[in-house]
């Protein structure tokens, strides 16, 4: 296998408590710690392990967004990726538009495998990988908890509702990572310094001539309702009465 492309998304760090803007127009991002989407980081770790086993020649990380995404791409390079590509846009793209952009990059890079997280922790859409596979006309293996490469085939163990499912797909293919696929490595300072010298290509999204118009619009963003404080009851009868009072069961 010659090349693996890994998709990285810049998201609010999983440890940060998300706050809604006072006007309800979105999430507060100013001064907030941003990181690689955790599922994408797992996908990158798997690509690096495949390369380290001698089963791939190059790992390329790609991202779509503003120049701030360079931070996450540099982290990917510090982890061990060979080079990076940033498609610049100030707009927040929908999954279908993202899939179209990735398809254009696939046309340039001709990868044997595309790895990405099963979903992003900011919107939880879980759509981009499936849409990319459909547009590309190649097999897909989603929710991967184990991945093995055998020549021009990949064996993938998927996490499904009924348990685990093992499938084989021909390469090139799209594989989306689940949480238990691996544990991403810790980035060391010398690797961060080396990453500054690795190539990072910048592309304007307009140069790709892709339709990225929005099909949906967000009318408002609201926090979840505050949970009511719990109470302690002394008997089943008191519990039933409390549930009736709160309208949780029929009187």
Encode pLDDT of 197-207 as tens digits.
999 999 999 99
Dihedral sign (CA 191, 193, 198, 204): positive
pLDDT value of position 242? 86
Please give the pLDDT value at position 83: 96
Structure tokens at 212: 């990225």
Sequence spans of domains, the chain? 3-215
For residue 191, what pLDDT is reported? 92
Whether 8 contacts 36, CB under 8 Å? yes
Enter the DSSP assignment of 25.
S
pLDDT of residue 230: 81
Q: What pLDDT, on the 0 to 100 scale, is given for residue 251?
A: 64
- Find out whether 242 and 233 touch, Cβ atoms under 8 Å: yes
Exposed e or buried b for every residue in 168-203, given b needs 16+ CB within 10 A?
ebebbbbbbbbeebbebeebeeeeeeebeebebeeb
Q: What is the pLDDT of residues 71-111, one digit of tens each?
A: 999 999 999 999 999 999 998 899 999 999 999 999 999 99
Considering the chain, what is the average pLDDT of its residues? 93
* Residue 22: per-residue pLDDT: 87
27-84: per-residue pLDDT in tens? 888 889 999 999 999 999 999 999 999 999 999 999 999 999 999 999 999 999 999 9
Mean pLDDT of 148-168: 93
The answer to whether residues 11 and 112 touch, using CB atoms and an 8 Å cutoff, is: no
* Superfamily of chain region 3-215: HUPs (3.40.50.620)
> Could you read off the pLDDT of 219-229 as tens digits, one per residue?
888 888 888 78
Higher pLDDT, 25 or 145: 145
For residues 8 and 73, the answer to whether their CB atoms sit within 8 Å is yes
pTM of the shown model: 0.86
pLDDT of 223 reads 84
Distance CA(179)–CA(174), nearest Å, equals 17
> What is the average pLDDT across 148-160?
94
Q: Distance (Å, rounded) from C-alpha 111 to C-alpha 172?
A: 7
Among all chains, which residue has been given the structure tokens 């706050």?
19
Say what the pLDDT of residue 29 is. Answer: 87
Q: What is the pLDDT of residues 121-150, one digit of tens each?
A: 988 899 999 999 999 999 999 999 999 999
DSSP conformation class of 27: B
The two tokens of residue 148 are: 């093995």
Crossing angle of helices 128-136 and 95-109, rounded to 10°: 50
d(CA 74, CA 68): 11
């Amino acid at each position: 296998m010659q090349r693996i492309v890994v998709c990285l998304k810049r998201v609010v760090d999983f440890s940060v408590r998300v706050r809604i803007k006072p006007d309800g127009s979105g999430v507060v991002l100013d001064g907030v710690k941003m990181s690689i989407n955790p599922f994408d980081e797992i996908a990158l770790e798997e690509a690096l392990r495949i390369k380290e086993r001698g089963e791939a020649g190059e790992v390329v990380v790609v991202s779509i967004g503003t120049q701030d995404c360079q931070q996450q791409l540099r982290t990917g390079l510090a982890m061990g990726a060979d080079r990076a590509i940033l498609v610049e846009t100030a707009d927040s793209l929908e999954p279908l538009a993202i899939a179209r952009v990735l398809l254009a990059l696939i046309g340039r890079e001709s990868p044997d495998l595309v790895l990405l997280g099963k979903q992003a922790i900011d919107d939880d859409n879980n759509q981009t990988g499936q849409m990319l596979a459909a547009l590309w006309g190649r097999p897909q293996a989603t929710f991967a908890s184990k991945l093995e490469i055998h020549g021009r085939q990949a064996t993938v163990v998927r996490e499904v509702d009924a348990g685990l499912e093992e499938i084989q797909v021909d390469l090139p293919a799209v594989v989306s990572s689940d949480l238990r696929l691996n544990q991403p490595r810790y980035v060391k300072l010398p690797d961060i310094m080396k990453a500054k010298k690795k190539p990072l290509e910048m592309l304007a999204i307009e140069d790709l001539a892709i339709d990225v118009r929005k099909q949906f619009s967000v009318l408002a963003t609201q926090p979840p309702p505050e949970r009511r404080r719990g109470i302690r009851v002394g008997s089943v009868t008191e519990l039933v009465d409390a549930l009736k009072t709160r309208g949780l069961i029929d009187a």
